[in-house]
Structure 1
């Protein structure tokens, strides 16, 4: 498509995340809003023009403006596959909210559908666009920490009423299972997990995951819907110190290892380990992560092959890791991850 023309985008689902996609599509100069699909209506008042609300994908595709260039699929997870199938048949590129699908098999089918239609697809793992995590990853890749030992995440808070179809692993922990690979520089090789059910739902509401990436880096993630305060923290520990990102505030801190000499007593130096050094809080340029995500997908549609999107194949890997986490929790065994497309 012409690189100087705004990209026409639509949204399927005007819930917690879809309404924010609609807001950005209606305000970003590089995009044009083609409409939204939600049988439940515009209950959050997200649309400026009520005429752009449609009751079905069929109505959206048949509208006078023609099919959009792309659509954000922000419907419940179990509806992702049929939505992508209908959109791809009409030649519409798809940005699918995470997790890519309810199962790895459905994720593979989505990949096949998009590829066979010759379209672009990506997954909405918006945390990758958080300014604190982008800067953290840049610094790790530049060698600031030296050898990386551990990637650790904490994502806890109260239960969100929007969730109805999955547990905390596929809804919330998929953020972390994607991040540990992206930040740690290797695919997840194996996981050992525990879950708990405390709210009377069919699905789990707490998960503890310990694992290892293919390169040997360890990781752990703590995720729940039981904590009465919201915490979103990612830390990477390495031989020279630790980087800690608070992704709620988009803050990034560096805790440096101190050099504490032992006055010619090398055996004692070896036993001491590290000591507390300087702490630095970085000043960051902050952009709304969801807007950055949409802009990157539009760049991909315009033909920028290096656009910073999360590929469908990466989305499949995350779903496969989530399934391995649930299998480990059910069996009490460490599970090796297999996620080939």
Structure 2
């Protein structure tokens, strides 16, 4: 029986709590949040211990913990978990700065604990299917991947702009589909309803003249989460919300068979499997750092109005 905990039980953290509580072979030992009323209410609902200090939760001898706190707190809380010899899933983005990401990655490696980054779209069944199709060669060489992730603004998001909050999803997803890293980035963005950028179009360059385009905003009144993959032999359309994949080529329009499931459940199951078997997670700290590096470069590009090369 693996002993797990959750630090941070806001909107996303509550889903971590729910899923862990339903997992076989997993004991939800405790949850932590600075909101005393909320954490006690959640703990009572799911039969776990409540803590307002995460360090006290980490003293419970946990095998694994989800860290679902504001981005600016990721480094401090992650280092506390590492010092407690606990395997970690930290929600995206991995950190607020590259320096902090490096500190987290190096500390986890030195301690021999797993550091996984919660990039949920990697675990969407539609993503899995599209990746299989690309790797099979059905679409031929991929030359462009574009995404649209738009919807109304959520007032709880105050510490980061849309590129760090939403853009990292698609930066990571496009890099995952190509199986490579971004070499250059150029972004056009602006801020109209938020203190930081609330809409952006981000251009990504990969090797072999391959492109990525990320379109994001908090201005659209309805939620859209889609990807378009263009290959020399066909085009693939992915809908993250509906979990559908459709392939168009010269002869056919075909819907791929996608076994629908809750992406966060798949993600946490993968994390627990990695903890049990000592495997490297699909979204490692290094992957999380790359997505962060590109997102920060996109913000720099927007502020400087220039192309930024990625080392």
Which interval holds the TM-score relative to the shorter structure?
over 0.9
Q: Is residue 219 of structure 1 aligned with residue 208 of structure 2?
A: no
In the other structure, the counterpart of 2:35 is 40
* C-alpha distance 49-150 of structure 1, shift in aligned 2 (>3 A): closer
1:183 alignment partner in structure 2: 177
1:1-341 map, 5 Å: 6-41=1-36, 43=38, 46-47=42-43, 48-49=45-46, 52-62=49-59, 66-199=60-193, 201-256=194-249, 258=250, 277-305=251-279, 308-338=281-311
- 1:252-290 per-residue CA deviation (whole Å, 9 max, x = no partner) reads 11111x2xxxxxxxxxxxxxxxxxx53212231112111
- How far apart are residue 202 of structure 1 and its match? 2.1
For normalisation by structure 1, the TM-score amounts to: 0.87
Asked if the contact 2:31/2:48 (under 8 Å) is kept, the reply is: no
Distance 1:101 1:11, change over 3 A: same
Task: Verify the 8 A CA contact 2:2 2:26 in the aligned structure 1.
Answer: yes
TM-score using structure 2 length:
0.95
User: Which one is further off, 156-165 or 44-53?
Assistant: 44-53
Mapped to 1, the partners of 2:240 and 2:25 lie a distance apart of 26
Q: What is the RMSD of the two structures over their aligned residues, measured on CA atoms?
A: 1.5
Write the distance in 1 (CA, Å) between the matches of 2:37 and 2:262: 23
In 2, Cα distance between equivalents of 1:221 and 1:206: 11
TM-aligned CA deviation for residue 50 of structure 1: 6.1
TM-superposed CA distance for 1:304, in Å, is 4.6
Q: Displacement, 1:116?
A: 1.6
8 Å contact from structure 1 (residues 23, 46) kept in 2 = no
Q: Is the 8 A contact 1:98 1:315 kept in 2?
A: yes
- After superposing the two structures, state which structure 1 stretch, 112-121 or 95-104, moved more: 112-121
Q: 1 CA distance for matches of 2:293 and 2:92?
A: 13
Secondary structure in structure 1 of the residue aligned to 2:36: coil
The structure having more radius of gyration, on CA atoms, is 1
After TM superposition, give the deviation of residue 86 of structure 1 in Å: 0.9
Shifted more, 37-46 versus 18-27: the winner is: 37-46
Superposition deviation, residue 308 in structure 1 = 4.8
3-state DSSP of counterpart to 1:43: helix
Instruction: Identify unmatched segments of 5+ residues in structure 1.
Output: 1-5, 259-276
Deviation at 1:51, TM superposition (A): 5.3
- Equivalent-residue separation in structure 2 for 1:144 and 1:252 (angstroms): 13
Gaps of 5+ in 2: none
Deviations 1:172-229 (A, max 9, x none): 1000110110012210010110111011x32110010112113431110100111111
- The 1-side partners of 2:57 and 2:91 are apart by 19
The number of residues matched between the two structures is: 309
Distance 1:49 1:136, change over 3 A: closer
